[in-house]
C-alpha cells in the first residue's frame, strides 16, 4: 500500500495497476505527476525518470501481474517508488557504453536515489527506490 500523508494527517493509498501488455508510460507519467504535485520541476523530473525506468524494466524483464505504488511523506518529502512484477529475475546496474542504448537505467536510478533495492515476495518481487526531495 502506498501512503499519501495529507494535511489532515490521513493516509490514502496511491497505486496504479499495470495490467496492460505494453507499458502505459504516458498514463504512468500523467498519474505520477498528479500524485506528486507540489514537487519542484527538478525533483519531479528526477522522480519521473525513476518511475519510468522501473516501470519499463518491469515490462522489459518482468512478467505480469505488475503494479506501481508511490509513497509520499514528510517535509522535506521522501518519495518511495515501488514496482511489482512476477519474475524472480533481479535488476542489475549495467555498464554505460559509448553508442550503447541499453544498460544505463539502473545506473541512473542508483545515482538519483537515496537508495534502491528488491524485496522478494511470493510469486515475484518488488523493486523500490527512494528519492529525497528537499523542501
Q: What 3-state class would DSSP assign to 135? A: coil
CATH number at residue 103: 3.30.565.10
Give the DSSP letter of residue 37.
Answer: B
Contacts of 47 (CB under 8 A, 6+ apart): 32, 36, 39, 79, 81, 131, 133
Provide the residue range defining the domain that includes 41. Answer: 4-133
- Number of domains observed in the structure of the chain: 1
Which pLDDT value is given to residue 11?
43
Write out pLDDT tens, residues 33-80.
988 888 889 999 999 999 999 999 999 989 999 999 998 887 678 899
Amino acid at each position: 500500500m502506498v501512503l499519501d500523508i495529507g494535511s489532515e494527517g490521513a493516509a490514502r493509498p496511491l497505486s496504479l495497476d499495470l495490467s496492460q501488455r505494453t507499458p502505459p508510460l504516458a498514463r504512468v507519467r500523467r498519474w505520477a505527476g498528479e500524485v506528486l504535485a507540489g514537487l519542484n520541476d527538478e525533483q519531479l523530473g528526477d522522480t519521473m525518470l525513476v518511475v519510468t525506468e522501473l516501470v519499463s524494466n518491469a515490462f522489459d524483464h518482468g512478467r505480469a501481474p505488475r503494479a506501481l505504488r508511490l509513497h509520499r511523506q514528510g517535509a522535506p518529502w521522501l518519495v518511495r517508488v515501488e514496482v511489482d512484477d512476477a519474475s524472480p529475475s533481479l535488476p542489475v546496474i549495467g555498464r554505460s557504453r559509448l553508442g550503447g542504448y541499453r544498460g544505463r537505467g539502473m545506473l541512473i536510478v542508483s545515482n538519483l536515489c537515496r537508495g534502491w533495492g528488491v524485496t522478494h515476495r511470493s510469486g515475484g518481487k518488488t523493486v523500490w527506490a527512494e528519492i529525497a526531495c528537499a523542501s
